[in-house]
Amino acid sequence: MLSSPRLSALLVLSTALAGAPALAEMTKSLNLNGTTGLIDMPSGDAQEDARFTFSTALVGPITRATISFQITERLSGSFRFQTWRDWNTLFPSDGKKFEDRSFDLRYQILKEGTYVPALTIGLQDFTGDGTFASEYLAATKTFGDRLKVTAGLGWGRMGSYGGMGELFGDRPPLSEEDAGNPNTDQWFRGEAAPFAGVEYKITDQWTFKAEYSSDDYTLEDETRGLIERDSPFNFGFEYQRGPNARYGLYSLYGSEIAFAFHLILDPKTRAAGGVMGAAPVAVKARPARAADPDAYDGGWVTQADAGPLLRKNLAKRLAVDGIVIENLAYTASTVQIRIRSGRIDAGSQAIGRTARALSHVMPASVETFEIVPVVNGIGASKVTIRRSDLEQLEYAADNASLLRQRVTITDAGRVPANAVGDDGLYPKFRWSLKPALKVSEPLKGDVGLRLSASYDIRPGLVLSGAVYKRMFGNVDRTGEPSSSPLPHVRTDSSRYSKFGDPALEQLTLAWFSRPAEDVYSRVTFGYLERMHAGVSGEVLWKPVDSRLALGVEVNYTKQRDTDGGLGFDEYDYDIVTGHLSAYYDFGNGFLGQLDVGKYLAGDVGATVSVDRVFANGWRVGAFATVTDAPSDTLGDGGFDKGIRFSIPLTWAIGNETRQSFGATLRPGTGDGGARVDVDGRLYESIREYHTQSLDPDWGRVWR
């Protein structure tokens, strides 16, 4: 145990190295748990707003993989997957699992000031079985531009060494039924122990860390003999390679060597810089009406070939940007063009490119441009731009904001009766064969090939399918049937993975339409996903300028065989499910959703989710589901919960593409609270071209 004088000496020595105190900006580093901290202990720092990190750490025979997200400037969350090598040797007969999943939350109470340290309160593994659960208070102060000093107090696992007594009462044990629920009865209870540490920036790339740890590693050392904890001191060096990668090598507890790698991503800033694509053309200004009055004569609308010729010329210009014209309608003063953007990831940029093309092609008498983005064959909104505003503002200071003030975004309305279509646009067949990565949790997933195809029969009517062949991976493929008392709508996933290779993932006919103003609908029929087939219907009410949307979905599904084919005999299970949904845009990219209804296993309940969506397509969120199913069938803790993320490839590679990579991670999967997976759900498809989604990235209208 480290005596109080020795702990004090560590803090005094670190302060003496710094000279006069001054607030300075140093890297907010991460610890072996993938959260902001020292080596094994946390710190009072917080990452920059929206910072997203992937961390992998090797601590002796322990492997930790963590995803962390700075939800707001003060609040952050983490999901950790921890596994042990040679587990059978360590746990030969007690039946305990060889892996652990956990959630963390931390909140920065105080930001660092000239004389005030950064102060953070945190919960580690706060929904676990208590083995790794910890609570802490950590304060961090920067001295000069090279030194940080941290001191804190820990409870639970972080209060297991060098304790100073129970400050708020004893820490009650958790029962098996409590595992997975927020263990509020334990929070900040039991023995409290101090920890401390320093970070010293040697150069711009190299940092030295030292800490005194209050984690006794009781399970790994005393109980299992996995790690020898000979000392409370840890030391290490970290190397920062550019803004996105950090490596660490450490000496732990006098007996172990640890290694860490952190991938640090900023959703607000593109990793590849700007988006590579064709440069925008300038707006073509019309001649003054007084100088050329004939140019404004609207008699051109009577020409029989005017429509096809205008459409042809526009199509050539827009093809450079991957924009397809669905149809074109016009009068002498107004043009409405319906577009489908297949490559540009920002709706505002697609609208800007279309407006420029119109300025080059449409006769001078056309003053009003109505641009209707089309998603799944239906108009999502109507963006109305005056041509004279484009001409006047192109080179003005703050031109994006000035243009937005004059632009209107309204309901798309119906396709005009005089619209000019393209006979070659429908039907249209497309296919692709690409590598596919399926991530089920950190450090677990499959790599394979996916053959996909779609056939656009007419606007809004699409036949599509996909076949997946696994190449290699480490997901569960034992093929053992689940013991769940509910219908095995999700827990037999290992059987589907083992016996269905290759497998028909999806084969559907989907119909999208607009029954009324502000109302959208979808009907999907066929093999909806890998485990279920049937029919799914959805109706969504979403005005273009409303933060609120309401929807209803009804499904009839039948569970598929595990062999990946077309059969149903193995399970002979069918059910009608449905949900009422409310969606709300809170602003600053935060979206909330509440779904209430009946789930695949017949249970009834609700799902609450919150996502943060960025203008460049990044998305990070969390969800929780509670139903009337038995608690042990809903995943760990009696309710389904998890995090999800989606990263647009254009953010990483810089090329124009609408593809993305993402995953949903859960601490455990049960049959309760499961919904059928259906492509093309309406809210996420439609909202991209509504006011709250267009405005954050409106600056790209001129790019």
DSSP state of 354: H
The burial class, CB within 10 Å (0-12 / 13-18 / 19+), for 375 is: buried
Quick: pLDDT tens for 227-270: 888 999 999 999 999 889 999 999 999 999 999 999 999 988 76
DSSP state of 166: B
pLDDT at 662: 83
Q: Which residues contact 509 (CB under 8 A, 6 or more apart)?
A: 461, 462, 463, 524, 525, 526
Reply yes or no: is the peptide bond before residue 630 cis, omega within 30 of 0: no
Name 556's bridge partners. 535, 576
Give the chain's domains with CATH numbers.
4-265 (2.40.160.40), 293-424 (3.30.300), 428-691 (2.40.160)
Quick: pLDDT tens for 158-171: 999 999 999 988 99
Q: Which residues contact 150 (CB under 8 A, 6 or more apart)?
A: 37, 38, 41, 43, 44, 138, 139, 140, 196, 197, 198, 199, 211
Tell me the CB-side half-sphere exposure of residue 76, using CA atoms within 13 A.
32
pLDDT at 176: 67
Q: By C-alpha distance, which of 531, 532, 522, 529 is closest to 556?
A: 532
Kind of pairing between the strands at 428-441 and 619-627: unpaired
Using left for φ > 0, alpha for ψ between -120 and 50, and beta otherwise, residue 53 falls in beta
pLDDT at 637: 57
Angle value at C-alpha 672, between 593 and 439, nearest 5 degrees:
75
pLDDT at 655: 66
Q: Say whether 500 sits in a helix, a strand or coil.
A: coil
Inter-helix orientation angle 306-319/347-361, to 10°: 130
Q: How far apart are CA 477 and CA 484, in angstroms?
A: 18
pLDDT at 178: 62
Q: How far apart are CA 513 and CA 520, in angstroms?
A: 6
pLDDT at 6: 41
Enumerate residue ranges in the chain where pLDDT < 70.
Answer: 1-25, 85-98, 128-130, 176-180, 222-225, 270-278, 441-443, 635-638, 652-656
Q: By C-alpha distance, which of 352, 351, 355, 381 is closest to 367?
A: 355
pLDDT at 422: 80
pTM over 0.75: yes
Q: By C-alpha distance, which of 146, 148, 192 is closest to 169?
A: 192
Q: By C-alpha distance, which of 540, 532, 534 is closest to 512?
A: 540
Q: Which residues contact 338 (CB under 8 A, 6 or more apart)?
A: 325, 326, 327, 328, 372, 373, 374, 379, 415, 419
The burial class, CB within 10 Å (0-12 / 13-18 / 19+), for 162 is: buried
The burial class, CB within 10 Å (0-12 / 13-18 / 19+), for 491 is: buried
CB 355 within 8 A of CB 385: yes
DSSP characters over 30-85: B-TTSSBBSSSSB-S--PPTT-EEEEEEEETTEEEEEEEEE-SSSEEEEEEEEEET
Q: CA dist 257 to 32, 63, 100, 681, Å? A: 12, 12, 21, 48
Angle value at C-alpha 266, between 682 and 593, nearest 5 degrees:
30
Q: How far apart are CA 311 and CA 421, in angstroms?
A: 9
Both structure tokens of 207:
């940092």
Q: By C-alpha distance, which of 478, 429, 480, 475 is closest to 448?
A: 475
Q: How far apart are CA 56 and CA 107, in angstroms?
A: 23
pLDDT at 273: 56
pLDDT at 636: 61
pLDDT at 11: 42
How far from the centroid of its chain's Cα atoms is residue 186's Cα? 31
CB 511 within 8 A of CB 522: yes
Q: Say whether 667 sits in a helix, a strand or coil.
A: coil
CB 187 within 8 A of CB 135: yes
Q: Which residues contact 701 (CB under 8 A, 6 or more apart)?
A: 348, 349, 351, 352, 355, 400, 403, 404
Where do we find the tokens 């892996």?
99
- Terminus-to-terminus CA distance in the chain, angstroms? 62
pLDDT at 272: 57
Dihedral (C-alpha) 609, 614, 618, 621: value to the nearest 10 degrees?
Answer: -20
Name 604's bridge partners. 598
Q: Say whether 702 sits in a helix, a strand or coil.
A: helix
Burial 48-79 (b: 16+ CB within 10 A, else e): ebbbbbebbbbbbbbbbbbbbbbbeeeebbbb
pLDDT at 605: 94
pLDDT at 185: 84
